[in-house]
Amino acid sequence: QSALTQPASVSGSPGQSITISCTGTSSDVGNYNLVSWYQQYPGKAPKVMIYEVTKRPSGVSNRFSGSKSGNTASLTISGLQAEDEANYFCCSYAAGNTLFGGGTKLTVL
Amino acid sequence: QVQLQESGPGLVKPSGTLSLTCAVSGVSITSSNWWSWVRQPPGKGLEWIAEIYHYGTTNYNPSLKSRVSISLDKSKNQFSLRLGSVTAADTAVYYCARRTSSVGWFDPWGQGTLVTVSS
């Protein structure tokens, strides 16, 4: 099974909203509501921001939201802040396997 | 507060075996959690490797299954990874992490440890 597909980079200005897509197949993203999103700063461990497509862990800003349509999941960050500049990875269960996306670098202009 | 900490050799020779341990604190390793390993080659994305439940049930990434084993040490509250026949392609930061189910999300993660495969 191939990794999930994410854009290599996205950018936005402070206060704007951005969306990062994560495209899989009907065997993973499209078949399970088990997509999670992780934020990773350089040299640091990933941190979960969204789980089960739309749920936000305690302590994560409500500026982060998740959604899914068909085989594509999305992470939206509203009201962009400088601290949001990081790498973001999506993840999906896939019938006995777990797949990650290649990661998207978010630049806050 | 659950915390995980990886340890092990930072350098492994080609064709050798990579062995890492993850020490868990703040929760018993025999609790209802899945204990996982994930790796990240330098500058690249994440790859799930394997996971184990406290009963000993294991799941492996099909692409690595022939070379990987994961085990628990309940007396030390830690779990371990062994990856055999390593090549330069196995050079990566290796993370241990907790999942509350075999289909769930990873939280928390250890800080990661860099393993380089080189002669």
- Do residue B103 and residue A34 have CB atoms under 8 angstroms apart? yes
Q: Does A36 touch chain B (CB under 8 A)?
A: yes
* A24 φ/ψ sector (left φ>0, alpha ψ -120 to 50, else beta): beta
Amino acid identity of B113? T
- Per residue of chain B (119 residues), give pLDDT as tens: 999 999 999 999 999 999 999 999 999 999 889 999 999 999 899 999 999 998 889 999 999 999 999 999 999 999 999 999 999 999 999 999 999 888 899 999 999 999 999 99
| A23 SS3 class | strand
Q: Is the peptide bond before B14 cis (omega within 30 degrees of 0)?
A: no
Residue among B95, B49, B106 at smallest CA distance from A35: B106
Name residues whose C-beta falls within 8 Å of residue B3's C-beta, 6 or more positions apart in sequence.
B24, B25, B26, B108, B110
In the numeric block, the tokens 């978010």 are attached to: A106
Residues of B in contact with A100 (CB under 8 A): 38, 45-48
